[in-house]
Chain A
Amino acid sequence: MQHHPIQGFLRADGRKGVRNVVLVAYLVECAHHVARRIVSAIDDPDVQLAGFPGCYPNSYAAQMMAAIATHPNVGGVLVISLGCEGFDRQTLAAQVAASGRPVETLVIQQTGGTRATIDAGREAVARLRAAAAQAPRVPMAVSELVVGTICGGSDGTSGITANPAVGRCFDMLVAEGATCIFEETGELIGCEQVMAARAVTPELGDEIEACVAKAARYYATLGYGSFAPGNADGGLTTQEEKSLGAYSKSGASPISGLIRPGERTGGPGLYLMDVVPDGEVRFGFPNISDNAEIVEMIASGCHLILFTTGRGSVVGSAVSPVIKVCANPETYARLAEDMDVDAGRILHGKATLDEVGTEIFDQVVAVAAGAQTRSEALGHQEFILTYKQFEPSGPGCLPLAHRAGALT
């Protein structure tokens, strides 16, 4: 297939994006309505909503929001604060400004309330869009892409069709020099030994085994694995059965590192994201739904997300496009408009894993070059960020990277 060249949006910090989003970010639920009204009044797919609901400060949430607001797909940021919440709005605005992006802040309590802030916000977004439109367009190679993968609504077909097909696509991307991230260590319980054997150093292998053991402890304390009733309806019986199917999304490349949400890889290759918090179980489930995982991969720099589903998830995301790969042919027949790739063809011998893997790769390049995904066309822009607690990564986690260049 002849690929369209990717024309990235060059940011002042040197990173390149595949979208040019103006983000309206609320810092507490009390500012959500005002921020949503600003976004809905403008009604442009490139003006998007993100936010954090809590009033109590949390360093993870602050780092995640800063990483999202300075993501290469973001060209400008409007911060909406109520005024008395715990989130440090000045630091967030300073981080966005330091990245070379235009940023404005509106404090509802200082601006005159709901109506006045919505009006001021619409004017601010118009200025931010004009500034973002000045971003230079430059050639961008496949090797400059960061691509994440997640599965949601898995069933007994996911591990046979969509997940290994994404694995083939990941192998092709890694071979091209791109960066690929897979995640949800709670959904890799049972795969820790085979995964550790793929690590580029024994120390990294130890870190991978330790982080899956942490996930198993965490979920055991909560009383639930990462296993939804719909997984069982679709024929999956146990956590480890779901895990083995999910694991095949990672393909066959060596694992170059283990990162935390919001941390950047510092180099190309295949990386595992450890999404389970450190320490005592504190704020509840590690990720309360699929979009919480998607947000974490975007915070670590993902330009695009490959989302495999058997039961049929319909979500997309703010900031980065989501390509949905449907594992189950019956689901595809029902939800075709929501699906970008029909991987269930593999079940009936109508396509091979390699063919579907190549099709996913071609879609990655096309979407990076500007083609809309199904969820973008349908207006999906989900975003969810909640409380977590992480310690810094261990020294064995990124053996190949120049750690000074990676966020922690």
Chain B
Amino acid sequence: MVSPQVEPAQEAFLLLDPADNVLVCIRDAALGEIVTIDGVAMPLPQAVPLGHKIARHDLAVGDKVLRYGAPIGSMKAATPRGGHVHSHNLASDYIPAHGRDASTKGSK
């Protein structure tokens, strides 16, 4: 029974541009939470934190990823619809990003 003060759960993902193939998370979303992507409901295959991205549909190696309707890099590993899109499967077409271990692993 939901108390009347509690707002209905807000959609966790936002499509920024109709051309985009990723959705942006606007509140922390839990593993298994039912999300609706292009009208189709599915359980989220992983938890996703605020600000992160998931695939709008299946993405293959080499696919350009579009956000704001513009390319933000290319897929280096495939991911299914709803999968987390981040440093493990998406890379820049310009300059590689670096993590906190960069200074111990070397600058390149």
A238 touches B92 (CB 8 A): yes
Residues from chain A with Cβ under 8 Å of B93 in the complex: 190, 238, 240
- Give the interface size bracket for B toward A: 35 or more
Report A308 CB to chain B, min CB distance, Å: 14
Complex Cα spacing A140 to B71, Å: 43
B96 touches A236 (CB 8 A): no
Contact A190:B107 (CB < 8 A) given known A227-B98, A235-B53, A237-B86: no
Q: Is A209 an interface residue (CB 8 A)?
A: no
Main secondary structure, interface of B, reads: loop
Q: Which of B39-84 touch A at CB < 8 Å?
A: 49-53, 67-68, 70-73
Q: Is A328 an interface residue (CB 8 A)?
A: yes
Q: Which of A170-194 touch B at CB < 8 Å?
A: 189-191, 194
Output the nearest chain B residue to A330 by Cβ-Cβ distance.
B50
Output the nearest chain A residue to B74 by Cβ-Cβ distance.
A238
Interface size on A, residues (CB 8 A): 38
B94 touches A159 (CB 8 A): no
Q: Is A347 an interface residue (CB 8 A)?
A: yes
B102 touches A239 (CB 8 A): no
A156 touches B94 (CB 8 A): no
Complex Cα spacing A310 to B52, Å: 13
Q: Which of B16, B50, B51, B108 has the most CB of A within 10 A?
A: B51
Q: Is B14 an interface residue (CB 8 A)?
A: yes
Residues from chain A with Cβ under 8 Å of B71 in the complex: 190, 240
Which A residues have a C-beta under 8 Å from some C-beta of B? Answer: 155-157, 159-160, 189-191, 194, 216, 219-220, 222-225, 227, 229, 231-232, 234-241, 244-245, 248, 310, 328-330, 347-349
